[in-house]
Structure 1
Amino acid sequence: MRVHVLKEECENGKLVLLLRVEIEINSLHRHELGELEMQVLDFILENDEVTQSELSRLFGRSKACRAVKDLENKGLVRRERKGKTYVIRVV
């Protein structure tokens, strides 16, 4: 993890900091995700981007859809419509 101070100022006798925190996604997701979400995220990381159809073939349609939605809600991946499917990338 890396922390950068972007801005610091004193307001009413208090130090106010604007920080940028960088956390490696590989270490972060292992602690907060379930087994299926970890597998799906690892597969996406290995391939840079995948389609939801590819994930459905590997993990099953409902499991893949649920895992992608959970990852998207956690802000780890982004889905973009491409034809009749979605392309999924790590944010």
Structure 2
Amino acid sequence: MKEASILGYANETQNLYDEITQPILIISLDDDFMATPKSVDLFAELVLKNAKKKRLNIIPKEYGLDKIGHLDFFREKNKEQLWQIPLEFLEE
């Protein structure tokens, strides 16, 4: 698969991704079929080149969950297990 097809709009000439230098928490979910851990790694490496990155891949079972998928990280049902992760990063 070509890099351009993986990154889509990130390769457009009018973007500001190169200017991002702030710390970023990059999370992938092991059971996300749309944003797979590998695609998130590529995005972080090729697009967020200048950002200070903290990378985390979440495996649902390690957090006592059967599944999270692409859309459920911020659902109320996962509040106790997952929401503290980005909050702790922001507090650092």
**Fold-level similarity (TM above 0.5):** no
Higher relative CO (Cα under 8 Å, sequence separation at least 6) belongs to 2
TM-score where L is the length of structure 1: 0.27
Name the larger-Rg structure. 1
Which structure: greater strand fraction?
1
